[in-house]
Amino acid sequence: MGKKTKVFLIAVVCFVAILGVSIALLVKYANRIIESELEKRLGKNFSIERIDLRWGSVEAVGVALKNRQGKEVVKVGNLLVKADFMGLLRKQYIISSVTVKDPYLFVEIDKKGNIVNPALPPELSPEQAAAKKAQEKAAAKKPPEQAMPPITIKKIEVVNGSVDYLDEKTPVRPVLLKVRDIGLVVHDVSVPFADRFSRFTMSAAIPGKLSTGTLKSDGRIKIKTKDMDLKATLRNLDVTPLKPYFEKESPVDVTKGFLDLDLTVKVASEKLHAPGTAVLKQLEFRSGPGMSAKFMGAPLSLVAAFLKNSNNEIPLNFVIEGDLNNPKFDIKENAMHRISIALAEKLGLPIKGIPEAATGIGAKAAHGVESSVKGIGQGLKKLFKGQ
């Protein structure tokens, strides 16, 4: 081997060594810079175990966000982002996949219906979001400037997700709904959000005392405008943890019951239209005798008699409708209202037979008490005559 060759090889080795050390230092300090920037934006309650930068991917491990009381409201076991370098050749910014493993989210709704957990950073508050939207509209009127191309995410996948949903906006007591084993896959998402649909599939489990409900959904959603078309199915949901939603001030106590649900949801221009079918199964009650006890606004004795004659099932058809832009519109309350009306119709009761307190119908429910009582009596008479 000649002298010049040895010098060349030594130079190459030195160059590779220096390059390796430089990359290692770059990764080390890039981790600190990213962590520092995230902590600056999300506050001292944000923490992350480590960030690993590799060729074509970024991995974050042990991401957590606590509220002021020290409770973890957001947690991610592992976040992996993979880039698509071929997109750079086409002058496109493409992320081939984002995988989120073992995420946890705690959502708390106060008595006024406001989200108090997780608390949003000031720059993400509704007021700031509205101001930013106004700025974007004003900027749209100006001559277009050369901007960076949007980032396209080909696939977002959530694996083994969990959500705890604490709803304090209930008339009797708060409801804690747990959703587990969440699996979600979304295809083709652009940032900023584009005016196009992204397809998704989702599955989850909802554990209860008597059974574990299964939820499945698939369809498409336009994140920018909230337009969506989807189908959802729910099977064997234990209704006993949901008693505060339909108990109201009624003395009835549901000791057993399950719900099957099929829903077709369409949202266009923030208007919701969702026809569905529900089946209440194996309902059992513990309450005192008499007509005062009611289930979802209907006399308990009538509900029990219907279950006795129909293999312990009550199939119902209903339609959920409303304006998502209306702050007074509540999907949960609207759904219970519609199901209550469907139950009344199934039992042969006039809508006026369902009390206002139970369904929120308003003046229609309060009108004509005498005819309501008469209608209930006729419904009972008709039912027991058929036995």
**Average pLDDT over every residue of 215-239:** 94
Judge contact between 216 and 243, C-beta under 8 A. Answer: no
SS3 assignment, position 158: strand
Q: How far is the first Cα of the chain from the last one, in angstroms, to the nearest whole number?
A: 106
Judge contact between 107 and 117, C-beta under 8 A. Answer: yes
Judge contact between 58 and 98, C-beta under 8 A. Answer: no
Q: What is the pTM of this model?
A: 0.75
pLDDT of residue 257: 93
DSSP bridge partners of 202 = 184, 217
User: Which range, 207-211, 288-292, 383-387, is most confident?
Assistant: 207-211
Let me know how long the chain is: 387
Judge contact between 224 and 195, C-beta under 8 A. Answer: yes
pLDDT of residue 360: 37
Instruction: Give the helix/strand (H/E) hosting 301.
Output: helix 300-309
Per-residue pLDDT band for 88 (boundaries 50, 70, 90) equals low
pLDDT of residue 195: 87
Ordered DSSP codes for 9-35 = HHHHHHHHHHHHHHHHHHHHHHHHHHH
Per the prediction, the chain carries an average pLDDT of 77
Rounded Cα gap, residues 157 and 369, in angstroms: 54
What are the domain boundaries of the chain? Answer: 40-122+149-225, 239-387
303-306 own/partner pairs: CB under 8 Å, 24+ apart: 303/343, 303/347, 305/380, 305/383, 305/384, 305/387, 306/346, 306/347, 306/383
Per-residue pLDDT band for 334 (boundaries 50, 70, 90) equals confident
What Cα–Cα distance (Å) separates residue 363 from each residue in 343, 356, 372? 19, 8, 13
**Average pLDDT over every residue of 12-28:** 48
In whole angstroms, what separates CA 176 from the centre of its chain? Answer: 14
**Structure token pair of residue 315:** 């199939």
Per-residue pLDDT band for 37 (boundaries 50, 70, 90) equals low
Looking at residue 119, what DSSP letter applies? P
Name residue 247's amino acid.
E
Per-residue pLDDT band for 224 (boundaries 50, 70, 90) equals confident
**Average pLDDT over every residue of 8-30:** 49
Judge contact between 239 and 247, C-beta under 8 A. Answer: no
Least confidently predicted of 17-26, 73-82, 241-250, 269-278: 17-26
DSSP bridge partners of 262 = 233, 277
**Average pLDDT over every residue of 239-258:** 80
Rounded Cα gap, residues 158 and 181, in angstroms: 10
**Average pLDDT over every residue of 217-232:** 93
Per-residue pLDDT band for 111 (boundaries 50, 70, 90) equals confident
DSSP strand pairing (271-286 vs 253-268) = antiparallel
User: Which range, 18-32, 46-60, 307-321, 360-374, is most confident?
Assistant: 307-321
Rounded Cα gap, residues 182 and 180, in angstroms: 5
Sign of CA dihedral 121, 127, 129, 135: negative
- Closest by CA position to 218, among listed 235, 233, 237, 205: 233
Per-residue pLDDT band for 89 (boundaries 50, 70, 90) equals low
Rounded Cα gap, residues 204 and 213, in angstroms: 8
Decide which of 224 and 230 is more confident.
230
What Cα–Cα distance (Å) separates residue 316 from each residue in 69, 96, 202, 296? 43, 44, 25, 13
Decide which of 182 and 8 is more confident.
182
- Closest by CA position to 87, among listed 74, 77, 97, 96: 96
DSSP bridge partners of 48 = 63
Burial class for 127, CB neighbours closer than 10 Å (0-12, 13-18, 19+): exposed
Rounded Cα gap, residues 241 and 255, in angstroms: 10
**Structure token pair of residue 136:** 């974007």
DSSP strand pairing (93-109 vs 151-167) = parallel
Decide which of 274 and 379 is more confident.
274
In this predicted structure, the answer to whether residue 13 has a pLDDT above a threshold of 90 is no
In this predicted structure, the answer to whether residue 345 has a pLDDT above a threshold of 50 is yes
Decide which of 193 and 247 is more confident.
193
**Structure token pair of residue 325:** 């832009």
